[in-house]
A and B are shown apart, each in its own frame.
Chain A
Amino acid sequence: GAVVSQHPSWVICKSGTSVKIECRSLDFQATTMFWYRQFPKQSLMLMATSNEGSKATHEQGVEKDKFLINHASLTLSTLTVTSAHPEDSSFYICSARDPRDFYGYTFGSGTRLTVV
């Protein structure tokens, strides 16, 4: 089946610094990727939809200048958390759909971000 690789799996950073998270589709091309955030004991919340070659669409309440998304190729999307603060500490998960499978939304393994 489709595989989505996410890196790093965990990261600790100092408050005020930036962190980049990568999401790669390994065996398919993904024109669209999705970025979610999950706080402890809460559900996944869609942050933004990443479109290859165009601007990402951020959900209401998600600052586009704080959560920068780049989808420069059909297999790679990156999420950069700029000027991170402790309240940004969360589990970030990307997802992509294999166009060969209409229902095939695959999740990456997730990134645990801790801002200290």
Chain B
Amino acid sequence: QKEVEQNSGPLSVPEGAIASLNCTYSDRGSQSFFWYRQYSGKSPELIMFIYSNGDKEDGRFTAQLNKASQYVSLLIRDSQPSDSATYLCAVNIGNQFYFGTGTSLTVIP
């Protein structure tokens, strides 16, 4: 059983729309949750992390965590073409990270 699961997509949204990315995890001992953005051929870059139930907002990005249902999501408001990338969900358990396979997002101008 995979620790972290994501819909691989591709997900396409028009420019200006809200993109919604979802992630589920299997280990209830998971402590913190991260969303990374990865452009093709590049290393992942951190967008946000969250460790408490509820919402966390940072600019156009909102992370949502529901520990009871074991899912974490990322909303991107006012999507821009530059947001087109693969979004990786990661879960921190102890000193280790477990990554999902990523969701490919395309924002159509």
Contact = CB atoms under 8 A, between A and B. Distances in A.
Interface string A75-116: 000000000000000010101000000010111111010000
Interface residues of B, number: 19
Nearest to A104: B46
Given A32-B95, A49-B96, A43 B101 contact: yes
Q: How large is the interface on A (under 10, 10 to 19, 20 to 34, 35 or more residues)?
A: 20 to 34
A48 to B, nearest CB: 11
Interface in B22-61: 32, 34, 41-46, 49, 51
B42 A109 contact: yes
A45 B41 CA distance: 16
A19 interface: no
A46 B44 contact: no
Nearest to A108: B43
A13 B89 CA distance: 32
B45 A107 contact: yes
Contacts of B88: 43-44
Interface of A: 6, 32, 34, 42-46, 49, 91, 93, 95, 103, 105-110, 112
Interface of B: 32, 34, 41-46, 49, 51, 88, 95-102
